[in-house]
């Protein structure tokens, strides 16, 4: 295909990780982090479209108040399987296991992750966990909500809870192993000169994410293990009829599942911290503050879980403490947002697709984060807890934030991953369609929530219909916005314009090697002498760097 390339000067490297070995075995038994990232890309995309299908069913069903399309039990299965698929099989692995897996070794200047075979193992664990969950979906479905609240899930549900729980349990280990791999790699495999404060913020974000993965995931494994034992063997952990406590389940569940929100959003923040300096051609404003903010979010994020439980009857004092900590954890996010905006000032801004996603992220994450203030405020949570306000809020974070970050990163690194460019204008239009579709889908849900529409309703009072129709219309637009990148990115991987090593140009080490990179990443171990995003000390990027007269009084060549 190389012969058909339009750009005459640019050639794909003869040998890369993509063609060094061939055949299905060379992919399924690979220990190359880049190939494993692509295995994840294919499987995570598969789960994304499964979850997206469920979402579409939900929105179509809610077009009318009477619920014309699905039976109550089917509807309950749709929203449950949408949540389980998207949270555990799309959002949690998406950026870390695809972009993180591919980029972290390149960014720190290493040949691979610290434990390449464990990396492959984690993909297989993910697939086995996914298979169990898929089995649950086709063998009776799952109707507990993704939160698996007891005693409904352990006693009353007639759906295939056990295989689903086993699937999520298994997949957790994939997450733990990925986090472990990242931590060890970042600690021990940085190239000469790559000091901690020269690391790209994408790496810092994944460092923080890995801590959450390693410390949090075992707790959800234990929790779901206990739930499975209660369901299968009748052991009384959570069922009050057996002397258990249903609220204990919620404490254990949210002890993981709230930090899990940060597993989803921190990597996306990491992507944005790459995109904005790159496309503003300027150092990130307040690098140390942003790096520290990632760690602060990871740590404080472990201390806010009971804000999901203000109305369970927990003690008033506990509620006040958890509410306060919830407001504290909002501050590091505010720091990051201001840092991104400040970076724009004095920059040289271009509006390539990844930057459009970064802007989209900025706006949607802002709305998502700020609406968290409503839910964290105890007095307001009384009214909006378990309504569509919550649904809107977390979709603004998870879809508006995490998915925008993911797609922005995918476009940004697509030329590195495949060696070829995506079609720029088509991508810009798709980004715009996504942004519009997203807001039309989820903004009306804030209003619905404040008006009092509870979540997980298969029918609803007619006065809520107007906003539901808007939301469904938006979801249709959103669906187009998601299908388009899948189609043109796949096309571009084979037929796109050859990109060259560093098309943007960007400053990270991943751009110092070929696109697509060779299997060993770098032919010669790079030596780092510059800070992250330091366009001014990078003559290799061939940019017009203004020379400070005091430093270079007589300058001949440029």
Partner 1 sequence: MQSPLPFFPEQASSIAGNVDALFAFVVLTCVFFIVLVVALSAFASFRYSRKSEREVGDTVAGNLVLEIGWTLIPLMIAIVIFAWGAAIYVNFRTAPKDTLDIYAIGKQWMWKLQQPNGRKEINELHVPVGRDVRLIMGSEDVIHDFFVPAFRVKMDVVPGRYNTLWFRATKPGKYRFFCSQYCGTNHALMGGWVTVQDPAEYAAWLSGESGTVDPVSAGEKLFSQLACNTCHLGNGLGRAPSLNGVYGGKVLLADGSTVTADDNYIRESILQPNAKIVAGYQPVMPTFQGLVTEEQIVDLTAYIKSLQSQPPPAKGAGVVPVTTGKK
Site for partner 1 in 242-271 (CB under 8 A): 243, 245-247
- Least separation in angstroms between CB 165 and partner 1: 17
Q: Which is nearer to partner 1, 247 or 493 (CB)?
A: 247
Is 525 near partner 1 (CB under 8 A)?
A: no
- The residue to which tokens 């309950």 are assigned: 76
Tokens of 42: 């294919």
Question: Which of 32, 143, 230, 510 forms a contact with partner 1 (CB under 8 A)?
Answer: 143
Question: Applying CB under 8 A, which part among 219-227, 404-412, 451-459, 486-494 lies near partner 1?
Answer: 451-459
Asked if 238 contacts 226 with a C-beta cutoff of 8 angstroms, the reply is yes
Residue list 395-434, contact with partner 1 (CB under 8 A): none
Burial annotation 531-548 (CB, 10 A radius, 16+ → b, else e): bbbebbebeebeeeeeee
Look at residues 249, 211, 216 and name the one whose alpha carbon lies nearest to residue 230.
249
d(CA 57, CA 60): 5
Residue list 338-357, contact with partner 1 (CB under 8 A): 338-339, 341-342, 344-351
- The residue to which tokens 């464990």 are assigned: 118
Question: Which of 374, 406, 412, 422 forms a contact with partner 1 (CB under 8 A)?
Answer: 374
Is 199 near partner 1 (CB under 8 A)?
A: no
* DSSP assignment string, 432-478: HHHHHHHHHHHHHHHHHHHHTPBSS-SS--GGGHHHHHHHHHHHHHH
Measured CA distances, 474 to 56, 435, 436 (Å): 11, 10, 8
Question: Which of 135, 454, 476, 484 forms a contact with partner 1 (CB under 8 A)?
Answer: 454
- The residue to which tokens 């733990």 are assigned: 176
Q: Which is nearer to partner 1, 523 or 547 (CB)?
A: 547
Is 112 near partner 1 (CB under 8 A)?
A: no
Residue 436, phi-psi category: left (phi > 0), alpha (psi -120 to 50), beta (remainder): alpha
Asked if 107 contacts 201 with a C-beta cutoff of 8 angstroms, the reply is no
Is 295 near partner 1 (CB under 8 A)?
A: no
Q: Which is nearer to partner 1, 37 or 384 (CB)?
A: 384
Is 530 near partner 1 (CB under 8 A)?
A: no
Residue list 58-97, contact with partner 1 (CB under 8 A): 67, 72-73, 76
Count of residues that interact with partner 1, criterion CB under 8 A: 97
Q: Which is nearer to partner 1, 42 or 545 (CB)?
A: 545
- Least separation in angstroms between CB 119 and partner 1: 34
Question: Which of 28, 373, 486, 487 forms a contact with partner 1 (CB under 8 A)?
Answer: 373
- Least separation in angstroms between CB 160 and partner 1: 15
Asked if 46 contacts 114 with a C-beta cutoff of 8 angstroms, the reply is no
Look at residues 184, 218, 176, 182 and name the one whose alpha carbon lies nearest to residue 202.
182
d(CA 483, CA 433): 11
Is 285 near partner 1 (CB under 8 A)?
A: yes
Q: Which is nearer to partner 1, 72 or 193 (CB)?
A: 72
């Amino acid at each position: 295909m190389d012969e058909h390339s339009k750009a005459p000067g640019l050639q794909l490297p003869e040998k890369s990780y993509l063609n060094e070995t061939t055949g299905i075995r060379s992919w399924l038994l690979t220990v190359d982090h880049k190939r494993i990232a692509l295995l994840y890309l294919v499987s995570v995309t598969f789960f994304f479209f499964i979850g997206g299908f469920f979402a579409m069913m939900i929105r179509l069903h809610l077009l009318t108040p009477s619920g014309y399309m699905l039976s109550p039990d089917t509807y309950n299965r749709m929203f449950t399987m949408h949540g389980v698929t998207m949270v555990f099989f799309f959002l949690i692995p998406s950026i870390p296991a695809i972009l993180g897996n591919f980029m972290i070794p390149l960014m720190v200047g290493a040949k691979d992750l610290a434990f390449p075979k464990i990396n492959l193992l984690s993909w297989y664990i993910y697939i086995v966990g996914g298979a169990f969950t898929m089995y649950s979906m086709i063998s009776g479905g799952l109707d507990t909500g993704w939160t698996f609240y007891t005693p409904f899930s352990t006693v009353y549900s007639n759906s295939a809870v056990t295989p689903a729980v086993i699937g999520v349990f298994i997949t957790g280990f994939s997450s733990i192993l990925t986090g472990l791999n990242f931590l060890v790699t970042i600690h021990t495999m940085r190239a000469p000169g790559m000091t901690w404060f020269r690391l790209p913020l994408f790496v810092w974000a994944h460092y923080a994410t890995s801590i959450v993965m390693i410390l949090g995931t075992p707790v959800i494994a234990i929790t779901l293990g206990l739930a499975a034992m209660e369901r299968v063997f009748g052991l009384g952990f959570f069922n009050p009829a057996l002397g258990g406590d249903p609220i204990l389940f919620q404490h254990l569940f949210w002890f993981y599942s709230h930090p899990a929100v940060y597993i989803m959003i921190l990597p996306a923040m990491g992507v944005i911290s790459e995109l904005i300096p790159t496309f503003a051609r300027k150092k990130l404003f307040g690098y140390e503050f942003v790096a520290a903010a990632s760690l602060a979010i990871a740590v404080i994020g472990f201390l806010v879980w009971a804000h999901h439980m203000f109305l369970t009857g927990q003690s008033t004092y506990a509620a006040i403490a958890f509410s306060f900590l919830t407001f504290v954890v909002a501050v590091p996010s505010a720091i990051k947002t201001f840092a991104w905006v400040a970076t724009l000032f004095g920059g040289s801004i271009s509006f390539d697709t990844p930057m459009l996603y970064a802007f989209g992220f900025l706006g949607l994450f802002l709305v998502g984060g700020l609406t968290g203030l409503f839910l964290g405020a105890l007095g307001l949570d009384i009214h909006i807890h378990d309504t569509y306000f919550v649904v809107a809020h977390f979709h603004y974070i998870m879809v508006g934030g995490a998915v925008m970050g993911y797609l922005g990163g995918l476009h940004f690194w697509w030329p590195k991953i495949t060696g070829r460019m995506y079609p720029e204008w088509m991508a810009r239009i798709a980004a715009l369609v996504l942004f519009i579709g997203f807001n039309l889908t989820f903004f009306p849900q804030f209003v619905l929530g404040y008006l009092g529409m509870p979540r997980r309703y298969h029918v609803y009072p007619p006065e809520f219909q107007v906003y539901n129709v808007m939301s469904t219309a938006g979801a249709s637009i959103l669906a187009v916005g998601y299908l388009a990148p899948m189609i043109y990115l796949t096309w571009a991987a084979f037929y796109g314009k050859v990109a060259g090593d560093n098309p943007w140009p960007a400053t990270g080490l991943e751009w110092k090697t070929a696109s697509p990179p060779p299997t060993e990443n770098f032919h010669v171990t790079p030596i780092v002498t510059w800070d992250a995003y330091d366009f001014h000390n990078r003559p290799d990027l061939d940019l017009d760097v203004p020379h400070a007269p005091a430093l270079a009084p007589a300058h001949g060549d440029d």
